Each structure stands twice: as C-alpha cells, then as structure tokens.
Structure 1
Amino acid sequence: MTQWTALVPMKQGADTKSRLAGAIDLPARVALAHAMVAHVLDCLRDVEAIGDVHLLAPAPEAGLDTAWLADGGAGLNAELARAHATIKGPLLIIHADLPHLTPADVSALLAAARDAGAAIAPDRHGRGTNALALTGDPPVAFAFGEDSFARHMRLLPDAAIVRRPGLARDLDTAEDLAEARRAGVVAAGAREDDTRS
C-alpha cells in the first residue's frame, strides 16, 4: 500500500497563536502551540498509512522527533506548493492546532481521500480548512487563508468532505481555549497575560 506523507505547518515566534494574545501571554501561547503540535504529530505517527511526517516551520521545534522543512516566509500557500513539489505520492496537509484530534479522525480523512481522490476537512464554522488530503498528480493550487474551505471546494469539486469533531475543532480564540480546557485536551494552567489591566 502506498504510504502517505503528512505535512504540518506551524507558526512560531511572536506570530504564535496571535489571536490568543488578549487571553494568554506569549510564553504561554508558545507552550500551548508546542503541546498541540506534539499531539498532532503523535496522532499522525499512530496512523499506519502514514510513512513520513514533516513539520513546516521557520525553525526546527525543540523536543519534537520529526523531520523539518524550512518555511522561507513566502506565505503558507506558496510554502506548501514548494514542499509539495518535493514530495512523491499522496500528501496530507493538517494544521498543528487540533487538540481534539485522534488517529481515527486522520484515518477517516485518508480513507475518504483514497475513494474520492481528495478530501477536505473544514473547521467547525464551515469556513476554514483544517486538513487536506490529496492522492495524486497533478498538484493543485492551495487556498489556505480566509474562507479557504469554499475555495478548496472550487479547486477540488469532487473531493470528499469529512466532518469530524477532532478535525473541525481547532484552537484560535479564547472561547476555543476555554472549551479545550473544559474537555481536558489542553492543560488548564496556561498563564494569564500579566499585561492586561
């Protein structure tokens, strides 16, 4: 069976989970992002169909035993296209901020992609794309960013749409963080931002 390659884009530095800046300080955001990407990588390693896992980031992430692809700062879609050009075989792109993700979620997405040729996992609002699985060539344009789900559906009209809580529930806002804490998938001890008054 052909093995999938998984690509996990991740922001680092001051851009890390910037939408949470009003809720937790930068060191806490960095720690949260690290814990979430470690969780996503663990889930990917538990999926038998995945052969290689790569972190796409500006710098290697300390403490993670995974291959690293340098993000040169050209923008996510351009960086994904560049990485895709170097990868042979089926490709999974999955975001790093999915604390509810399970290996079963990933397996379901890949199975749907095998059947349809491609699969898209939207966020819970039906606007963003949290994961994209592509089985073959030619490569498609990537359309991550605002309203990416609708754009990816236009680019891949025959793609399967996979809606599962673990794939849909990303962590971008203070409300997402509170929900993840209540669910026990994120530690409750993230430090509050001392700069708020």
Structure 2
Amino acid sequence: MSCWALLALKPPHLGKTRLAGTLSGTQRTQLVRAMFERVLDALGAAGEIDRVAVVTPDPGIVPHGVITLADPGGGLNHALDAGRRQAMAQGADEILILHADLPSLRADEVDTFVRHSRPAGLGFAPDRHGSGTNAIFLSPPGGFGFHFGAASFERHLHEARARAREHTVITLPGFAVDIDEPADLQHFSGPRAGLLEPFLPHWNMTRWTTRPQHFSPSHAAEHG
C-alpha cells in the first residue's frame, strides 16, 4: 500500500486575506510559508506517509522531495480532486488530505490519524470549532466528493452517509487548530505560540475578545 499526503496551496502572497487587518502582506506571506513548512516537516517524519504532494499554481514554493501537481483552477475542491486523480495515477492507494496551515501538527498525530482511519477507510479530523474539516483520510482514494468551505464538516459527514460509507471522526490537537482569522492567532498566544511567536507582537491583543462574534462559526472559502 502507498499512502500519499495531499495538500493544496495558493501562492503565499495571496493567502490569509482575513488577517489583512492584523498582519502586513509580508507578515502574512511569512506566516503561510512557516505553517506550510511545519506541515511538511510533520509529514516527512511520519512513518505512515510514503509520498507528499502539493497542488499549486506556484511550483517554486514546493521544496525538493515533495511532488508538485498542477492546479487546474476553480477553487480548493477542484484542486484537491485534480490532485487526487494525479496521485492515484501515480500509484496512491491511500490519501491523506490536509490543510497547509496547521501550526502545531506533529508526526505522531499524522500516524495516529492514518492508523485509526484505516479500518473504516474514511476518516475526518474536524477543526476546533467542530464546523470545518482539517483532514480527510481515504482508502481507496476515490468515490468521495470534497466539500471544503463553510460548514464543511457536516457536509462531509452527509457525503459519507449518502454514499453509505463507514467512517470515523478523530480529534487530535495538531489537526484541530488552523489559522484563518485573528481569533485563531489569539488562540495561539502565550506558551502555545510556537512558530507563530514572531508574528504575535505585531497585533494588539486587546482588539480581540472571546465574544462569539469574533469566532467565525466556519472556515469559509480558504479552508474548512
């Protein structure tokens, strides 16, 4: 069996637009690259992952040893579907789809998610809000539609039920937190900052409270 990890990434300078009022364009680009590198490091150290592939219109951001797949355009779901087909054509028997903005992802969590998803053949990792989907494991890779965007977790569950697919939901810290909005950065303040620490001093913590309206109920367009 050959298990591939598959990510989709737009050019870094076009990413994280919802942080535009918090970080400068240069800081957002640096943040995208830092999180992307963290995810690649985790995947590279994971024992269950055989190949890593990135669907992107910007091949220059993909490091040596990582497979670059063409992005046909049309948004995240189209990009991932195209990447899945290309990976299957190159021998992928299992695919782990995940986002490139998981700043605390660890290799052992990747292995845990893959191993616990294999018996069902379909596994989901929800975000910390329970509304978005930050990872999907598929074995075999085909026969499932992607619905990343607003309220994607429920839509992916509906897809599984509609196809009568056995599935499992696995909650792991490194898969649960992605960075899309200022409140997500706030969540990583203090001792949890990690690789985000260089970006945190640039914004005013008092601007962001924990009132519900500051926490988006779903991660739209870019992720989810």
Q: TM-score, normalised by structure 2?
A: 0.80
Give a deviation string over 1:133-180, Cα, whole Å, max 9, x none: 001154211111111100111112321101111110111111221332
Give a deviation string over 1:100-125, Cα, whole Å, max 9, x none: 11112111111122111110001011
CA contact (8 A) 1:119 1:162 kept: yes
5 Å-filtered alignment, 1:65-80, equals 65=64, 66-80=66-80
Which secondary structure state, in structure 2, belongs to the residue aligned with residue 131 of structure 1? strand
Which residue of 2 is the match for residue 184 of structure 1?
193
What is the alpha-carbon distance in structure 2 between the residues aligned to residue 132 and residue 9 of structure 1?
13
Which residue of 2 is the match for residue 16 of structure 1?
15
Give a deviation string over 1:64-117, Cα, whole Å, max 9, x none: 232211223211111211221222310111100000111121111111221111
- Seen in structure 2, the aligned counterparts of structure 1 residues 92 and 188 have a Cα distance that, compared at 3 Å, is same
Which secondary structure state, in structure 1, belongs to the residue aligned with residue 197 of structure 2? coil
Matched, 1:128 2:136: no
Which residue of 2 is the match for residue 106 of structure 1?
110
Structure 1, unmatched stretches of 5+, are none
CA contact (8 A) 2:103 2:196 kept: no
Matched, 1:92 2:96: yes
Which secondary structure state, in structure 1, belongs to the residue aligned with residue 198 of structure 2? coil
Q: Residue 63 of structure 1: CA displacement?
A: 6.7
* Higher mean displacement: 101-110 or 65-74: 65-74
Identity %: 34
What is the alpha-carbon distance in structure 2 between the residues aligned to residue 171 and residue 137 of structure 1?
27
What is the alpha-carbon distance in structure 2 between the residues aligned to residue 178 and residue 189 of structure 1?
13
* Higher mean displacement: 178-187 or 49-58: 178-187
Give a deviation string over 1:4-42, Cα, whole Å, max 9, x none: 111111222543111111100111001001010100011
- Seen in structure 2, the aligned counterparts of structure 1 residues 137 and 174 have a Cα distance that, compared at 3 Å, is closer
- Seen in structure 2, the aligned counterparts of structure 1 residues 165 and 67 have a Cα distance that, compared at 3 Å, is same
Q: Residue 57 of structure 1: CA displacement?
A: 1.6
Which secondary structure state, in structure 2, belongs to the residue aligned with residue 50 of structure 1? coil
What is the alpha-carbon distance in structure 2 between the residues aligned to residue 173 and residue 48 of structure 1?
32
- Seen in structure 2, the aligned counterparts of structure 1 residues 7 and 21 have a Cα distance that, compared at 3 Å, is same
Which residue of 2 is the match for residue 83 of structure 1?
83
CA contact (8 A) 1:16 1:26 kept: no
CA contact (8 A) 1:9 1:56 kept: yes
- Seen in structure 2, the aligned counterparts of structure 1 residues 10 and 163 have a Cα distance that, compared at 3 Å, is same
Which residue of 2 is the match for residue 31 of structure 1?
30
RMSD: 1.8
- Seen in structure 2, the aligned counterparts of structure 1 residues 189 and 13 have a Cα distance that, compared at 3 Å, is closer
What is the alpha-carbon distance in structure 2 between the residues aligned to residue 8 and residue 67 of structure 1?
10
Amino acid in structure 2 at the alignment position of 1:48? G
CA contact (8 A) 1:112 1:118 kept: no
Which secondary structure state, in structure 2, belongs to the residue aligned with residue 116 of structure 1? coil
Q: TM-score, normalised by structure 1?
A: 0.90
Which secondary structure state, in structure 2, belongs to the residue aligned with residue 188 of structure 1? helix
What is the alpha-carbon distance in structure 1 between the residues aligned to residue 196 and residue 153 of structure 2?
29
Matched, 1:174 2:173: no
